[in-house]
Chain A
Amino acid sequence: MGTIKDKVAIIGMGCCKFGENWDKSADDMIIDATYEAYEDAGVEKKDIQACWCGTAFSGVGGICVAGPLKLDRIPVTRLENFCATGMETIRNASYAIAAGVYDIVLCVGFEKLKDSGLAGLPAGYIHPALGVNVTAPGRWAMAATRYFQHYGISPQEGRETLGRISVKNHYNGARHPKAHLRREVTLEQVLSAPIIAWPLGLFDCCGNTDGAASAILCRADIAKKFRDDYVLIKGIGLAIGPSLGKEDADYDYIHLEETITAAQQAYKEAGIKNPRKELDILELHDCFTISELMTLEAIGVCKQGHAKEDIDAGVFTLKGELPANADGGLKSFGHPIGASGVRECYEVYKQIQGKAQLPERQLKDVKLGLSHNQGGHPGSLLPIITILGAAG
Chain B
Amino acid sequence: MIGIVSYGAYVPIYRLKRDEIGRAWSRGSGGGERSVANFDEDSATMAVEAVIDCLKGFERETVDGLYFASTTPPYREKQTASLVAQACDLRRHMFAADFSDSIRAGTTALRAACDAVKSGSAKRVLVAAADCRLAQPQSGNEQEFGDGSAALLIGREGVICEIEEIYTHADDIVDTWRTENDTFVRSWEDRFVLTEGYTRNINEAIKGLLKKCSLKPADISKVVLYAPDSRRHAEMAKPLGFDPKTQMQDPMFKALGNTGAAFAMMILASALESAKPGDRIILANYGDGADAILLKVTDEITKLPKRRGMKAHLASKLDLSTYEKYVRFRRLMPLESQAREGANAFPPVALREREQLTSLHGSKCKACGRTFHPMQRVCIYCGAKDQFESVRLSDRKGILYTYCIDNLAMSSDPPTVVTKVHIEDKAGAIGIYCQMTDRDLDKVKPDIPVEMTFRKLHDAGNMHTYYWKCRIPREA
Contact = CB atoms under 8 A, between A and B. Distances in A.
Interface of A: 116-120, 123, 126-135, 137-139, 141-146, 149, 194-200, 242, 244, 246-251, 253
B353 to A, nearest CB: 8
A88 B237 CA distance: 79
A130 B406 contact: no
Nearest to B349: A128
Contacts of B457: 128-129, 132
A146 B403 CA distance: 8
Contacts of B460: 128
A248 B380 contact: yes
A132 B402 contact: no
B409 A135 contact: yes
B465 A129 contact: yes
Contacts of B407: 194-198
A243 to B, nearest CB: 10
Contacts of B342: 123, 132-133
B410 interface: yes
B404 A126 contact: no
Contacts of A149: 402, 446-447
Given A142-B404, A196-B407, A130 B433 contact: yes
B240 interface: no
Interface of B: 338-346, 349-350, 353, 357, 372-374, 376, 380-381, 401-411, 415-416, 418-420, 422-423, 428-433, 435, 446-447, 457-458, 460, 465-467
Nearest to B435: A133
Contacts of A129: 350, 353, 357, 457, 465-467
Given A128-B344, A197-B408, A247 B373 contact: yes
Contacts of A141: 404-406
Nearest to B419: A142
Nearest to B463: A128
A128 B350 contact: yes
A246 B408 contact: no
B361 to A, nearest CB: 13
Contact of A138 (B341, B408, B430): B408
28 contacts: A118-B340, A126-B343, A128-B345, A128-B346, A128-B465, A132-B458, A132-B465, A133-B410, A134-B418, A135-B418, A142-B403, A144-B404, A145-B402, A145-B404, A145-B446, A146-B402, A194-B407, A195-B405, A197-B408, A199-B404, A246-B420, A246-B431, A247-B372, A247-B374, A247-B431, A249-B431, A250-B428, A251-B431
B350 A135 contact: no
Nearest to B409: A133
A247 B433 contact: yes
Given A132-B457, A138-B409, A119 B339 contact: yes
A294 B148 CA distance: 46
Contacts of B373: 247
Nearest to B425: A249
Contacts of B409: 133-135, 138, 197
Contacts of B428: 249-250
Given A133-B406, A145-B402, A138 B418 contact: yes
B431 A123 contact: no
Classify the secondary structure of A's interface with B: loop
A127 B404 contact: no
Nearest to A143: B402
A116 B339 CA distance: 9
Given A197-B418, A198-B405, A249-B401, 7 more contacts: A129-B466, A134-B409, A135-B409, A141-B405, A142-B420, A197-B407, A249-B423
A247 B423 CA distance: 11
Contacts of A134: 409, 418
Nearest to A135: B408
Nearest to B461: A128
A118 B339 CA distance: 6
B372 to A, nearest CB: 7
A198 B431 contact: no
Nearest to B374: A130
B406 A137 contact: yes
A183 to B, nearest CB: 23
A210 to B, nearest CB: 17
B404 A138 contact: yes
B372 A120 contact: no
Contacts of B350: 128-129
A141 B420 CA distance: 12
Nearest to A195: B407
A128 B351 CA distance: 12
Contacts of B435: 132-133
Contacts of B430: 249
A149 B446 CA distance: 7
B466 to A, nearest CB: 8
9 nearest A-B pairs in the assembled complex, by CB-CB distance: A141-B404, A249-B429, A198-B405, A146-B402, A249-B431, A133-B409, A129-B467, A138-B406, A197-B406
A233 B410 CA distance: 43
Given A123-B340, A133-B418, A142-B418, A197 B404 contact: yes
Given A120-B408, A123-B341, A247 B432 contact: yes
A143 B418 CA distance: 12
A198 to B, nearest CB: 4
A211 to B, nearest CB: 21
Nearest to B350: A128
B401 A253 contact: yes
Q: Which of B342, B404, B428 has the most CB of A within 10 A?
A: B404
Nearest to B400: A145
A133 B381 CA distance: 27
Contacts of B401: 146, 249, 253
A146 B406 CA distance: 15
Nearest to A145: B402
A253 B402 CA distance: 8
B421 to A, nearest CB: 9
B344, B402, B447: most-surrounded residue (chain A CB, <10 A): B402
Nearest to A250: B428
Contacts of A249: 401, 422-423, 428-431
Contact of A248 (B408, B410, B431, B466): B431
Nearest to A202: B407
Contacts of B376: 244
A116 B353 CA distance: 32
A93 B147 CA distance: 62
A253 B420 contact: yes
The residue in A119, A129, A134 that gathers the most chain B C-beta atoms within 10 A of its C-beta is A129
A198 B345 contact: no
Contacts of A146: 401-402, 446
Contacts of B447: 149
Nearest to B410: A133
Contacts of A138: 404, 406, 408-409, 416, 418
A80 to B, nearest CB: 20
A198 B344 contact: no
Contacts of A246: 420, 431, 433
A128 B433 contact: no
Contacts of A247: 372-374, 420, 431-433
Nearest to B402: A146
Residue of A120, A135, A144 ringed by the most chain B CB atoms within 10 A: A135
B408 A137 contact: yes
